[in-house]
A and B are shown apart, each in its own frame.
Chain A
């Protein structure tokens, strides 16, 4: 078991290297010259060739590509992601740290919503298959998967905040501000998981162990919750784990719709300002999150399944 975990962790190292490299290459492929951007942002009145060369030297842009990649990688490992081009008094790490809590709050609230809504709804849909509840939910699932989140966000804002005046339209800080964006982010995940849990449960209901549980005269509650739901959830564990980084990265559009002061807003404004170090660090962070959560939940699934877990190890 320990050996498996260790091997699994080691195997992610090459993956992380590839991600960092791709991330670095893509940012460097952007056609505009970062030195020029830095100058423009610092409001230097006349941009001369010498000024550009000077800034290139200052930012280390005149060194060969691979040298720049390696030095950037080592800086990243030390937690130093560079300095914002736009605002040289701020470090990239500082900017990310400033915006991360708001995004985590939003993603966390969305995750809670996803779990609290999709498990009971998926469960009830499977238990009352083809009943009214199941049919209504299936229609809703169908509709919500077809709608893009920013549009749902705008609709909710229009209806709940403007028409009914129940919740604030935008901004952050309070619980009331959190509800609409969290719901918007989680909506498509709720649909996905309702479907996944419903189908997993229906699949499990056909298994021999359910027939035998009925043969033994176990109460329906025990069969449905202890056996069928647990087995169905089991196959969802990895999917839910992979949804966490997706939720974090998926907030990018919704944060902008609701002016939520998180990473997504920071990233979009950095894209408009051509603030490369921040974009680079953001992309890297999201990539690393995907790898880490994949690893974590893979291990978790192995540990929680008696068939995969080796006794006494």
Chain B
């Protein structure tokens, strides 16, 4: 089976003046059709950097080496315009801070419409209809009104769902979620996770799910990478990693998680 995305020996180096800092070190991994790959790692470990570098989202201060094959074509060799046309259509992303990801000066409807206009030749009516379909699918109440709202008038959870809706609207081949639950309260987190599970079951879209929350990743990811300081330190299924973690950092994460779970069960047990 050919992977949807295959990174081989991917390295990202940041050069500021004479200082060079390697942010991603010789990473190799693959995502297969219908699979959800989880990337786990603490803040600053280079998770976002890894995906941003492949999508051409970094400026010229970052130099990237290695390969990022998307259905066999190396994204790192593509022209900027080709990459732009792929982003938002073939490869889409959901970001961490829904509240700051929309331009505060334009209505939601306008920002959804400009996304469709960049990738399709739909008429304004068709764009309007599709936008409403997305909002309905993402269970936004009063979709017509929501289109007329400015970002600051909607909640973080609603904006996050709109972002997810936009990310799946054009039937992408790869969906990347970069800590989609970190900036949201616990109840909304569950809804957002469910939305991803649904996408996975209904459309079999290949996914990369980035997080530093072991609980979230256990639910959606089929396979895990653990990153620490720019390096991939562990790889395998959730239960494999749970029992055969090689890396000190991974073990630490698991211990912490088990401690929390233990206390949780104690409390629950005490209540019953």
Selected from B88, B97, B104, B150, the residue in CB contact (under 8 A) with A217 is B88
Which residues A191-215 have CB closer than 8 A to chain B?
207-209, 211-215
Whether B101 sits at the interface, judged by CB under 8 Å, is yes
Most buried by B among A214, A216, A220, A231: A216
> A209 to B89, Cβ gap below 8 A?
no
Whether A177 sits at the interface, judged by CB under 8 Å, is no
> A216 to B118, Cβ gap below 8 A?
yes
16 chain-A/chain-B pairs, Cβ below 8 angstroms: A207-B100, A208-B95, A213-B103, A214-B84, A215-B87, A215-B93, A217-B115, A218-B84, A218-B88, A218-B115, A226-B114, A227-B105, A231-B104, A231-B105, A306-B104, A306-B150
User: Contacts A215-B88, A307-B150: A222 and B118 contacting too (C-beta < 8 A)?
Assistant: yes
Whether A49 sits at the interface, judged by CB under 8 Å, is no
How long is the Cα–Cα vector from A212 to B115 in the complex, in angstroms?
Answer: 11
> B95 to A217, Cβ gap below 8 A?
no
Contact partners of A213 in chain B: CB under 8 A: 103
How long is the Cα–Cα vector from A212 to B92 in the complex, in angstroms?
Answer: 10
How many pairs, one residue from A and one from B, have CB atoms within 8 Å of each other in the complex?
75
Contact partners of B105 in chain A: CB under 8 A: 227, 230-231, 234, 305-306
> A211 to B95, Cβ gap below 8 A?
yes
Whether B200 sits at the interface, judged by CB under 8 Å, is no
Residue of A nearest to B83 (CB): A217
> A214 to B87, Cβ gap below 8 A?
yes
Contact partners of A226 in chain B: CB under 8 A: 106, 114
> B88 to A208, Cβ gap below 8 A?
no
Contact partners of B92 in chain A: CB under 8 A: 215-216
Which residues in B have some Cβ–Cβ distance to A below 8 Å? 55, 57, 84-89, 92-93, 95, 97, 100-107, 114-115, 118-119, 150, 152-153, 163, 166
> B104 to A307, Cβ gap below 8 A?
yes
> A208 to B114, Cβ gap below 8 A?
no
User: Contacts A217-B84, A218-B88: A212 and B119 contacting too (C-beta < 8 A)?
Assistant: no
How long is the Cα–Cα vector from A253 to B243 in the complex, in angstroms?
Answer: 81
User: Contacts A209-B101, A222-B114: A216 and B152 contacting too (C-beta < 8 A)?
Assistant: no
Sort A-B residue pairs by CB-CB distance and give the 7 closest, nearest first.
A217-B88, A217-B87, A212-B101, A208-B100, A306-B150, A216-B88, A215-B93
> B88 to A306, Cβ gap below 8 A?
no
Residue of A nearest to B97 (CB): A208
A237 to chain B, nearest CB (A): 12
How long is the Cα–Cα vector from A307 to B87 in the complex, in angstroms?
Answer: 29
Contact partners of A209 in chain B: CB under 8 A: 100-104
Contact partners of B87 in chain A: CB under 8 A: 214-217
- Interface size of A by CB at 8 A reads 23
A166 to chain B, nearest CB (A): 42
Whether A311 sits at the interface, judged by CB under 8 Å, is yes
If A208-B95, A217-B86, A217-B115 are given as contacts, then 19 extra A-B residue pairs at C-beta distance below 8 Å, sorted by A number, are A207-B100, A211-B57, A212-B101, A212-B102, A215-B55, A216-B115, A216-B118, A217-B89, A217-B119, A218-B114, A218-B115, A219-B84, A220-B84, A231-B105, A306-B105, A306-B107, A307-B104, A307-B150, A307-B152
A126 to chain B, nearest CB (A): 13
How long is the Cα–Cα vector from A218 to B95 in the complex, in angstroms?
Answer: 16
User: Contacts A208-B95, A216-B88, A218-B118: A227 and B57 contacting too (C-beta < 8 A)?
Assistant: no
Contact partners of A208 in chain B: CB under 8 A: 95, 97, 100-101
How long is the Cα–Cα vector from A116 to B86 in the complex, in angstroms?
Answer: 36
> A306 to B57, Cβ gap below 8 A?
no
Most buried by B among A214, A220, A230, A307: A214
B255 to chain A, nearest CB (A): 33
How long is the Cα–Cα vector from A214 to B88 in the complex, in angstroms?
Answer: 8
How long is the Cα–Cα vector from A226 to B117 in the complex, in angstroms?
Answer: 14
How long is the Cα–Cα vector from A234 to B103 in the complex, in angstroms?
Answer: 12
How long is the Cα–Cα vector from A218 to B93 in the complex, in angstroms?
Answer: 13
Contact partners of B84 in chain A: CB under 8 A: 214, 217-220
B96 to chain A, nearest CB (A): 8
How long is the Cα–Cα vector from A216 to B103 in the complex, in angstroms?
Answer: 13
> B150 to A219, Cβ gap below 8 A?
no
How long is the Cα–Cα vector from A208 to B97 in the complex, in angstroms?
Answer: 8
Contact partners of B166 in chain A: CB under 8 A: 216
B140 to chain A, nearest CB (A): 18
> A227 to B103, Cβ gap below 8 A?
yes
How long is the Cα–Cα vector from A270 to B208 in the complex, in angstroms?
Answer: 76
Most buried by B among A212, A213, A231, A305: A212
How long is the Cα–Cα vector from A307 to B86 in the complex, in angstroms?
Answer: 33
Selected from B95, B97, B104, B106, the residue in CB contact (under 8 A) with A215 is B95
B56 to chain A, nearest CB (A): 8
